[in-house]
């Protein structure tokens, strides 16, 4: 099983990011990945990216352009249920491009 690390970002860094993180764990474990997640708010993003290593960022609040080169995808489809497949496809493409 390939290991991946995902950073989930929402306005408060608590409720929505936790919900998204849980959904991502389930989604990518079904694809054969061993998933770890961290959760934060946009003001904490730079610190997390400086200290950690992430395969991608899933965000539900604006995060700006500086993602330290980490691919970032809007997680709104995971919240609304509309666009989940598109999110998964984009994230899988990024993972495959990174050799995972």
Q: Mean pLDDT score of the chain, rounded to an integer?
A: 96
CATH of the domain at 63: 3.40.50.2300
How high is the pLDDT of residue 13?
84
Closest CA to 21 of 11, 31, 13, 32: 13
Rounded to an integer, what distance in angstroms lies between the CA atom of residue 75 and that of residue 73?
A: 6
Query: Could you give the number of structural domains in the chain?
Result: 1
The proportion of the chain whose per-residue pLDDT surpasses 90, expressed as a percent, equals: 97
Is pLDDT at 14 greater than 90 in this prediction? no
Residues 53-59, mean pLDDT to the nearest whole number: 98
Give the global pTM: 0.94
Domain that holds residue 81: 2-97
């Amino acid at each position: 099983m390939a290991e991946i690390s995902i950073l989930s970002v929402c306005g408060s860094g608590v409720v929505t990011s936790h919900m998204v993180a849980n959904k991502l764990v389930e989604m990518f474990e079904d694809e054969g990945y061993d998933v770890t997640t961290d959760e934060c708010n946009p003001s904490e993003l730079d610190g997390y990216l400086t200290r950690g290593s992430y395969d991608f960022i899933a965000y539900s609040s604006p995060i700006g352009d500086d993602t330290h080169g980490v691919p970032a995808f809007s997680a709104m489809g995971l919240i609304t249920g509309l666009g989940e497949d598109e999110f998964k496809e984009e994230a899988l493409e990024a993972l495959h491009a990174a050799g995972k």
